[in-house]
Amino acid sequence: MQILNARCAGLDVHKQSVVACVLVSEGQDKVEKHCQTFGTMTPDILALADWLRGLGVKEVAMESTGVYWRPIYQLLEESFQLLVVNAAQVKRMPGRKTDVTDAEWLAELLQHGLLAASFVPPQAQRELRELTRHRTNLVEKRTQAVNELHRTLEGTNLKLSSVATDITGLSAMRMLEALLQGEMTDPNLLAELAVGRLRRKIPQLQKALQGRIREHQRLILSQLLVDIELFDEQVEQVSGMIEQRLTEQTQLLARLDAIPGVSRRTVEVVLAELGADMKRFPNARHAAAWAGMCPSNKESGGRRFAARSRQGNKALKRALVEAAMAAGRTKETYLSAQYRRIGARRGKKRAAMAVGHTLLRIIYHMIKEGTTYRDLGADYFDRRNQTAVVRRLVERLEGLGYTVNVSKAA
């Protein structure tokens, strides 16, 4: 096979060690091999960079397994052309396997130009990704604390959640804090702490607050309230930093926020994961495949079978599915019509995936072409094939025993 890269290296990365193999080609027949093992501490990685530079290496390949490749990538990206490849795509034939042979195999594939690099965003986008993913983790932890608060309140027979829509709202939190701190225990006085529309339910609150809190439950509830307040503060801090980093994308954020079901937080996740430069994706279908928002191929004997959605960017996939379910609850929109149309035949989960795929394609074209969102309307599918709609409705009426004569209105 033709050698395309005369001096290249393959790295087999682990938690505590990195095995490097450098192939130096002198013609098509003579190849020198240099292998060495380094640690993963910063001085060790810098020594690895010096060793690679000493051998004249310009291109380096490594597998994207776990998170161990990330610090090495950050330390080497300024000096070398790095290729992070999918481990599933570079598996060799089963047999003898060592760290040295793995590194050598990567170097051989790179030498002949047989590696497809995975998309690794720029440093600024990687930092934005870390922020949005950390915020998602904080929201999950807060949700877990709220769910535990619900369970503990049920154990005390405080039916606050049966009256108040949100037990972490201002009124509910004031009542719980006053009750747990021992400031007041009279249900009538606690109910008077309600504000806003909840004051209309004071009689129900007086009954709901007649519970029995034991000592261990008081401790659990107090800690849960502290945790929820802390998570709210942390989410606000992270959201503030995300907003600062997206100040240059204000107009784009506003345009994408106009899509039904898509919130500001969803747009931030999309820009962090997908980016604002669509040149890396040839078309919207490639972007959908990269995100895992389309089914994998399963064909045999000329027949196509149903298949699960392919693996992709989990954070982006989750945000799009959540936005799709929100879009399905909107009224008189194209996305809600699509959600109901598919959901009636194939279920809500598949409908959410399909609408999420549509959302990604919409976002792709809006970012690439600089356009604004224009809804096709809830009656789009009826207008697209009016003949089929008329035929279906006539058949239903005839099935009920009616004779139908259809003529188009002037």
Burial class from Cβ neighbours inside 10 Å (0-12, 13-18, 19+) for residue 340 reads middle
Same domain, 241 and 132: yes
Same domain, 295 and 354: yes
43: tokens are: 């001085």
Q: Tell me if 15 is assigned to some domain.
A: yes
pLDDT at 93: 63
Q: What is the residue-level pLDDT of the chain in tens, covering all 410 positions?
A: 788 888 999 999 999 999 999 999 876 678 889 999 999 999 999 999 999 999 999 999 998 878 899 999 999 999 999 999 988 788 776 666 788 988 999 998 999 888 888 889 999 999 999 999 999 999 999 999 999 999 999 998 888 888 888 889 898 899 999 888 887 778 888 888 888 888 889 999 998 888 888 999 999 999 999 999 999 999 999 999 999 999 999 999 999 999 999 999 999 999 999 999 998 899 999 999 999 998 777 777 777 777 677 788 999 999 999 999 999 999 999 999 999 999 999 999 999 999 999 999 999 999 999 999 999 999 898 888 888 888 888 899 989 989 888 888 77
- CA 145 vs CA 6, 137, 219, 233: distances in Å: 57, 12, 14, 14
pLDDT at 130: 96
Sheet containing strand 59-63, edge to edge, reads 30-39, 17-26, 7-13, 59-63, 81-85
DSSP conformation class of 37 = E
Same domain, 33 and 55: yes
Q: Is the dihedral of CA 400, 402, 408, 410 positive or negative?
A: negative
Same domain, 101 and 164: no
Closest to 156 in 3D by CA, of 222, 231, 230, 203: 222
CA distance 126 to 121: 6
Q: What percent of the chain has pLDDT over 70?
A: 98
pLDDT at 95: 67
Q: Tell me if 47 is assigned to some domain.
A: yes
Same domain, 237 and 283: no
Q: If residue 397 lies in a helix (H) or strand (E), which one and from where to where?
A: helix 386-399
Q: If residue 33 lies in a helix (H) or strand (E), which one and from where to where?
A: strand 30-39
Q: Residue 180's domain is classified under what CATH number?
A: 1.10.287
What tens digit of pLDDT does each residue of 86-127 get?
887 887 766 667 889 889 999 989 998 888 888 899 999 999
Same domain, 38 and 100: yes
What tens digit of pLDDT does each residue of 363-403 get?
999 999 999 999 999 989 888 888 888 888 889 998 998 98
Same domain, 392 and 354: no
In terms of phi and psi (left: phi > 0; alpha: psi -120 to 50; beta: otherwise), the region of 168 is: alpha
pLDDT at 24: 92
Same domain, 141 and 48: no
Q: Tell me if 57 is assigned to some domain.
A: yes
Same domain, 348 and 390: no
Q: Are 349 and 339 in contact (CB under 8 A)?
A: no
User: How many distinct structural domains can be found in the chain?
Assistant: 4
Place of tokens 């804090």: 177
Q: Are β-strands 7-13 and 17-26 bridged in parallel, bridged antiparallel, or unpaired?
A: antiparallel
CA distance 277 to 157: 54
Same domain, 59 and 105: yes
pLDDT at 264: 94
Q: Tell me if 267 is assigned to some domain.
A: no
Place of tokens 């929201």: 139
Q: If residue 63 lies in a helix (H) or strand (E), which one and from where to where?
A: strand 59-63
Q: Residue 15's domain is classified under what CATH number?
A: 3.30.420.10
Among residues 229, 247, 265, the one where a domain terminates is 247
CB count within 10 Å of CB 65 equals: 13
Q: Tell me if 158 is assigned to some domain.
A: yes
Strand partners, 24: 7, 32
CA distance 262 to 317: 13
Burial class from Cβ neighbours inside 10 Å (0-12, 13-18, 19+) for residue 305 reads exposed
pLDDT at 119: 87
Report the 3 state secondary structure along 295-341: ECCCEECCEECCCCECCCCHHHHHHHHHHHHHHHCCCCCHHHHHHHH
Q: Tell me if 1 is assigned to some domain.
A: no
Same domain, 227 and 311: no
DSSP conformation class of 270 = H
Strand partners, 13: 18
Among residues 61, 78, 111, the one where a domain terminates is 111
Closest to 79 in 3D by CA, of 9, 32, 5: 9
Q: Tell me if 237 is assigned to some domain.
A: yes
Q: Tell me if 212 is assigned to some domain.
A: yes
Domain holding 400, by residue range, is 384-410
pLDDT at 9: 95
Same domain, 346 and 389: no
